[in-house]
Structure 1
């Protein structure tokens, strides 16, 4: 076949893909066109960055003066570790499942990352594992609230306070309402508004820090950092606009099929476009102040966000629970504080289910950027077996605002058919 014929064949294949099955994408970017335009033009608008940041932090703290706006949750965590200035080889206990950058940041500060096993479909801290993991060198406990879950933390908090652990809530996936700023008993609560998060501002994070002395240190350190370039926010607006366009069902289905043609999955194709930081030179990337445009956009998102979007997301999740009969199998999903940033469905045949649903136009996936925190070399017994098995068995189902109830019903019927055929 000559070049012209080969191009014609590829063009025909693409044409067919474009008009084949439409695909329900796993997650929609939670931002509208008006907000994108505001972010783009706001990235170039004049204004004193410090004044904009002060207004945002006043809005978030509700007069309590305990808030700090950062470039990202990872940036906030890095600032916190710098402010705490812990002795080398101090231990930071992590929920066993988290994004890998969090323990990497701890290790970059010459601290030891120690996993604490989790359990249940809300991935809550296992208190027995916490008791096993804590030592005289343990200084911090980082609790990740995953997929929109907000488990009861009281027992864990009581234990942490008894052992003088500084408690950090990683609420990057759990924000669901403007007036929720984390558990008041936690020492720090970190919220992300990155590209794929609820109420995204294409970046930015808000931290609640209980101790004013630590907060002041964090402010002083951040004030010495360079400011994230305004042009990058403008480029991010274009990138997200492109992602919104291709997330349309028919276009996303085409991308999935084209990827298959070239032996690439959708994670390979789109993963890098929503990744906040590259793997190289992590700390220099984190150590930047948020740009004025990001702060403006984040303030706008907090002031104007439609909370009914989350209510509809929860309603869809409740429909999935009812249709699949998960009340007894995954009872943690009934927690009325769960906001379902993603819907975690546990199955003993995850890969087969993902392939089955994709054949029927539902894009699903596993784990994403989440990883199991590795135990320290001298404590291999802290290997988090429950977390490992949970993550291996979890498939994320679409339940976002835009997907209609009829599509949810069809997806659940497919899952029930798959389960029946597999038994």
Structure 2
């Protein structure tokens, strides 16, 4: 048995049981209509009527690509970290994903890398701000405008309150409110289209042609995600069940993570082509309207103290140099990843290796493309720690100090 168990999972569902019951209630009956709810959500992000609410970020991305209607063989520049499904959608359209590498200390790419990747075939630039990082896209936007290429900002992980609606330099910004995101509505995304009324009109027309997702489908999703609240958020259960399950080698984490997927991977694009039902819109509006940004940032500052402990002890934390950051998933790097994973778990720290869908975007085959070496190296060494806003500061410090002790990395020069 463990000498000590820290009863926090690597992933936390940002929802209380009271809020979950409200979602269930709305899935049974919602008094407002979709047409009443959409403008209310839209005004939380923009007063210009340029917001579209979709099932998920992938729905928004698919909508956008339909409206752009780029030629087959178009190259899509992507910052080198994203989920495989976004890359698969690019390929589904007959386009070529071209990654640009990131700097591990900031998780940013640079305007210089983006410009070096642009060719006559480039039709779109996608910048994904991952692991809660946010940064200015002014330089990349300048490069995009120079070449007449639209800039798509993927802020799926970046919601931190209604005062942040994405970078105004981006042509498109998307936020996710899926099951493992901040202020989760268990589904849903927001897309903001800037300075292009014609494109906005085209996207709206396509979206309005979709059928509405049946309310019973949303009900089933909310019901399913109750398992996440039980296995991930319930500290008492985590404390009691995790040690014996680990001892017998039962990988319950893999099962829970699989259960939390919003959409099954590898399906056709038709799975994304629905409008949200009124029940989902009603619950999303509530989550956004009551979101306490001040409390959210206060809790995240505690995790920053943990980052300082880790980096001072020589542990590499991707994005550690980004002080303007939120934390919903916490990665570190270890040279001996499997050993680090086992040692941390033996010490009662619920470390995990594959809890996120995020992965490296690999370059196409050919001499004209460059593999994103930093991103590849990072993903080969990633281990996730149970550090998020629901972990008290005293335990954040204990977990981080224990991690430094166990990994015993070489001091940074």
User: TM (normalized to structure 1)?
Assistant: 0.89
Report deviation, 1:384.
1.0
Moved more, 389-398 or 120-129: 120-129
Give 1:237-256 correspondences, 5 Å limit: 237-247=222-232, 248-256=234-242
Q: Which residue of 2 is the match for residue 202 of structure 1?
A: 186
Q: Which residue of 1 is the match for residue 200 of structure 2?
A: 215
Whether 1:50 aligns to 2:38 is no
Give 1:278-293 correspondences, 5 Å limit: 278-293=264-279
The SS at the match of 1:344 is strand
Moved more, 117-126 or 140-149: 117-126
Q: Which residue of 2 is the match for residue 12 of structure 1?
A: none
Contact 1:375 1:383 in 2 (8 A): yes
Give 1:346-365 correspondences, 5 Å limit: 346-365=333-352
Alpha-carbon displacement from aligned partner over 1:358-377 (angstroms, at most 9, x marks no partner): 11222122352122222223
Aligned match for 1:383, one of 362, 371, 377: 371
Q: Which residue of 2 is the match for residue 410 of structure 1?
A: 398
Moved over 6 A (4+): none
Summarize the Cα distance change of 1:405–1:225 in structure 2 as closer, same or farther, 3 Å threshold: same
Moved more, 199-208 or 368-377: 368-377
Instruction: Decide which structure has the larger Cα Rg and report it.
Output: 1
Alpha-carbon displacement from aligned partner over 1:46-88 (angstroms, at most 9, x marks no partner): 4322222222223322x11111100000000000000111111
Q: Which residue of 1 is the match for residue 58 of structure 2?
A: 74
Summarize the Cα distance change of 1:406–1:126 in structure 2 as closer, same or farther, 3 Å threshold: same
Moved more, 183-192 or 370-379: 370-379
**Structure-2 separation of matches of 1:270 and 1:408:** 23
Whether 1:91 aligns to 2:78 is no
The SS at the match of 1:298 is helix
The SS at the match of 2:99 is strand
Structure 2 unmatched runs, 5+ = none
**Structure-2 separation of matches of 1:344 and 1:253:** 22
Moved more, 324-333 or 114-123: 324-333
User: TM (normalized to structure 2)?
Assistant: 0.91
Contact 1:313 1:339 in 2 (8 A): no
Whether 1:276 aligns to 2:270 is no
Alpha-carbon displacement from aligned partner over 1:307-331 (angstroms, at most 9, x marks no partner): 2442233222221123224499669
Give 1:257-272 correspondences, 5 Å limit: 257=243, 259-260=245-246, 263-272=249-258
Report deviation, 1:145.
0.5
Summarize the Cα distance change of 1:336–1:29 in structure 2 as closer, same or farther, 3 Å threshold: same
Report deviation, 1:215.
1.3
Summarize the Cα distance change of 1:399–1:261 in structure 2 as closer, same or farther, 3 Å threshold: closer
Give 1:390-405 correspondences, 5 Å limit: 390-405=378-393
Contact 2:105 2:321 in 1 (8 A): no
Give 1:57-206 correspondences, 5 Å limit: 57-61=42-46, 63-206=47-190
The SS at the match of 2:28 is coil
**Structure-2 separation of matches of 1:331 and 1:107:** 28
Report deviation, 1:281.
2.4
Alpha-carbon displacement from aligned partner over 1:285-342 (angstroms, at most 9, x marks no partner): 1111111111111111111012244223322222112322449966953434211222
**Structure-2 separation of matches of 1:264 and 1:385:** 34
Whether 1:341 aligns to 2:328 is yes
